[in-house]
Amino acid sequence: MNQIKTVGLLGLLSGLLVGIGYYLGGSSGALIGLIFAGGTNLFSWYSSDSIALAAYRAQPIAPEQAPDLYGMVQRLCDRAELPLPKLYLIPTEGANAFATGRDPQHAAVAVTQGIVNMLPADELEAVIAHELTHVKNRDTLTQAVAATVAGAISYLAQILQFGAMFGGMSRNDRQGSTNPIALIAAIILAPLAATVIQMAISRTREFSADAGSARITGNPRALARALQRLEASARQIPIAVNPAFEPLLIVNAVPAQAFSNLFSTHPSTAARIENLLKIEQQLLEQGKTVPSF
pLDDT tens, 79-101?
999 999 999 999 999 999 999 88
Q: In terms of residue numbers, what domain contains 38? A: 2-285
Q: What is the mean pLDDT of residues 16-38?
A: 61
Q: Are strands 97-100 and 108-112 parallel, antiparallel or unpaired?
A: antiparallel
3-class SS of residue 99: strand
Beta strands 108-112 and 86-90, pairing class: parallel
Active site residues: 131
- Residue 179 has a pLDDT of 55
In a domain, 292, yes or no: no
| Of 158, 193, 159, residue with least CA distance to 16 | 193
Domain-located, residue 293:
no
Instruction: Indicate whether 139 pLDDT > 50.
Output: yes
- The secondary structure of 221-280 as a DSSP string is HHHHHHHHHHHHHHHHSPPP--GGGGGGBSS-SSPPPGGGGGG-SS--HHHHHHHHHHHH
Residue-wise pLDDT for 194-231, tens only, equals 667 767 777 888 999 999 999 999 999 999 999 999 99
Nearest to 263 by CA among 205, 194, 208, 213: 194
Say if 215 falls within a structural domain.
yes
Instruction: Look at residue 137 and tell me whether its pLDDT is greater than 80.
Output: yes
- Give per-residue pLDDT as tens, 140-158: 767 666 666 666 666 666 6
184 pLDDT tier (thresholds 50, 70, 90): low
| Ramachandran sector of residue 95 (left: φ over 0; alpha: ψ -120 to 50; beta: rest) | beta
pLDDT at 30 over 90: no
249 vs 81, 273, 275, CA distance in Å?
23, 17, 19
Report yes or no: 96 and 112 within 8 Å, Cβ to Cβ.
yes
Task: State how many domains the chain has.
Answer: 1
The answer to whether residue 276 sits within a structural domain is yes
Q: Identify the CA nearest to 214 among candidates 259, 154, 278, 170.
A: 278
The answer to the question of residue 74 being in a domain is: yes
In 101-224, where do the E strands start and end?
108-112
Q: Which of helix, strand or coil describes residue 290?
A: coil
Tens-digit pLDDT profile for residues 258-270: 445 666 778 899 9
Asked whether residue 265 is domain-assigned, the answer is: yes
**CA dihedral of residues 100, 104, 110, 116 (deg, nearest 10):** 140
Is 164 a member of any domain? yes
Whether the Cβ atoms of residue 122 and residue 222 lie closer than 8 Å to each other: yes
Q: Are the beta carbons of 252 and 233 closer than 8 angstroms?
A: no
Flag whether 290 is in a domain: no
